[in-house]
Amino acid sequence: MSQVVDVRHRGAYAVWIVALMVYLLAVFHRSSLAVAGLAAAERFDISAAQLATFTMLQLLVYAAMQIPVGLLVDRFGPRRVLLTGALTLTAAQVGFAFADTYVLALVARFFVGMGDAMTFICVLRLVNTWFAPRRIPLISQLTGMVGQLGGALAAVPMTIALGQLGWTRSYLIAASIGIVLSLALVVVVRDAPGTRSVTGPAMSMGHIRATLAASWRQPGTRLGFWTHFSTQFSATTLALLWGYPFFVQGEGLSDHTAGLLLTLMVAVMVVAGPVLGLIIPRHPWHRSTIVLGIIGSIVAVWSAVLAWPGTAPLWLLALLVVVAGVGGPASMIGFDIGRTSNPSDRMASATGIINQGGFIASLVLVVAIGLVLDWRTPGGGSDYTPAAFRWAMSFQYLLWALGITQIWRYRVRTRRKIMDEEPEAYGRVRL
């Protein structure tokens, strides 16, 4: 019997690792424009607002695809949807490598967002299928942690590649990795033990609407959504586009130091993910309290950086990327809240709804920063001043105010629902 269990575990970890590598590659492609922002502005001769449009479009597609992808996974299984995402990402990055006009580059980033959207939900579904329930929170955090290493691979190495190899060859090399992982996915990944592909029943539009409405009515789903919304956008915006220009032009750092700060932020995500994965299952009643504490620390450090006279010292900027980095894995708490608030037949739709939160906030912030930079930069161009960056980064306070208000609102409703409908469960959770 122990041999059977061991074989099952080896199969589970093999499936998870290959799927995880596809997710890591998706994060790499998503983040690759962060260190290439200034090069892209020069290559395509575009303004800050136009540069932000790349990331805006990518995030918009990602957010819009979350619920459809969840439904596709229910219908066709995670393996086929994940393979489609990997191939889409590969083709999109090849197109981005050869793009020589702004319009062609926009089309390529559109498909980067589409392929990216097909990865994370699929990996979570495979984790929920292959691992025991008691291991799911930790494996889910590890998934987010390892996936964020894609951001590190898109920082210093991509900076070096762009400097040594140029735009086209750098992006072609990155795209080629997708071919290898797609082959590994076909060979190794299965939807369930003993089953290569699982096909669900066809769903009518009426059934889809009813499922989504039921998931959204659940206050735990909304609490998960606003948790994801409020914790992720600061780190995502720094990693995807504006961190590198902010550190170089706004704070006067060298290219190398800016890349190291972005790498440090990813390293913090790697460490913080497992720690939260161990803490959260032990304190389920206080998940939203932990989230509010993390958001408060991010707001406090950003306030110190923006209020510092002149350029902020390096130690404070390092502290900024540390607290912002913790916000990345903290967003995973939203999925755990959704998991414990919805029945299994609504899990995919609830996950899709929650996963939209952080990316909607990031989308709004990326665009707002670009618009404010153009507004506050005398004479236009891409020589942004520290003052312009202070104005632009201050837009975050509007999103934090909205997110904290909604977290508090739905935390009260979620707790009241548990107390009214499941008093015994309420007592166990409180203990």
pLDDT single digits (tens) 160-191: 777 777 778 888 888 888 899 999 999 998 88
Band (pLDDT 50/70/90 cuts) for residue 5 is: very low
The mean pLDDT value for 41-69 works out to 78
| 256 compared with 397, residue with greater pLDDT | 397
- Residue (of 243, 389, 371) closest to 308 by Cα position: 389
Band (pLDDT 50/70/90 cuts) for residue 425 is: low
Please state, for a pLDDT cut of 90, what percent of the chain lies above it. Answer: 23
Q: Would you say residue 201 lies in a domain?
A: no
The mean pLDDT value for 56-67 works out to 81
Each residue of 258-284: pLDDT tens digit? Answer: 888 988 888 888 788 788 877 877 777
Average pLDDT across the chain, whole number: 83
The pLDDT assigned to 6 comes to 38
Q: Would you say residue 199 lies in a domain?
A: no
The answer to whether 147 and 24 have CB atoms below 8 angstroms apart is yes
The mean pLDDT value for 388-414 works out to 93
Q: Would you say residue 98 lies in a domain?
A: yes
What count of residues does the chain have? Answer: 431
The pLDDT assigned to 45 comes to 74
pTM of the model: 0.74
CA angle at 295 for the pair 291 and 301, rounded to the nearest 5°: 145
Rg (CA), the chain: 21
The pLDDT assigned to 398 comes to 96
| 140 compared with 393, residue with greater pLDDT | 393
Scan for tokens 């607290």, then name that residue.
Answer: 323
Is pLDDT above 70 for 428? no
Q: Would you say residue 196 lies in a domain?
A: no
Is pLDDT above 50 for 3? no
Q: Would you say residue 403 lies in a domain?
A: yes
Residues 6+ apart with CB under 8 A from 343: none
The pLDDT assigned to 426 comes to 54
The pLDDT assigned to 199 comes to 74
The pLDDT assigned to 152 comes to 67
The pLDDT assigned to 271 comes to 84
The pLDDT assigned to 427 comes to 59
Is pLDDT above 70 for 243? yes
Is pLDDT above 60 for 253? yes
Q: What are the Cα distances from residue 261, in Å, to 6, 265, 378?
A: 41, 6, 28
Q: What is the CATH number of the domain that holds 257?
A: 1.20.1250.20
The interaxial angle of helices 136-147 and 255-279, nearest 10 deg, is: 180
Residues 6+ apart with CB under 8 A from 126: 15, 16, 19, 78, 189, 191
The answer to whether 92 and 111 have CB atoms below 8 angstroms apart is yes
Each residue of 192-214: pLDDT tens digit? Answer: 887 877 776 677 777 778 878 88
**Domains held by the chain: number:** 1
Q: Would you say residue 20 lies in a domain?
A: yes
Q: Residue 416 and residue 206: Cα distance in Å, rounded?
A: 30
Domain hosting 252: range is 2-190+206-430
| 255 compared with 389, residue with greater pLDDT | 389
Q: Would you say residue 168 lies in a domain?
A: yes
Most confident of 1-10, 55-64, 144-153, 329-338: 329-338
The pLDDT assigned to 294 comes to 94
Q: Would you say residue 409 lies in a domain?
A: yes
Which of 100-114, 191-205, 312-326, 357-371 is predicted with the least confidence, judged by mean pLDDT?
A: 191-205
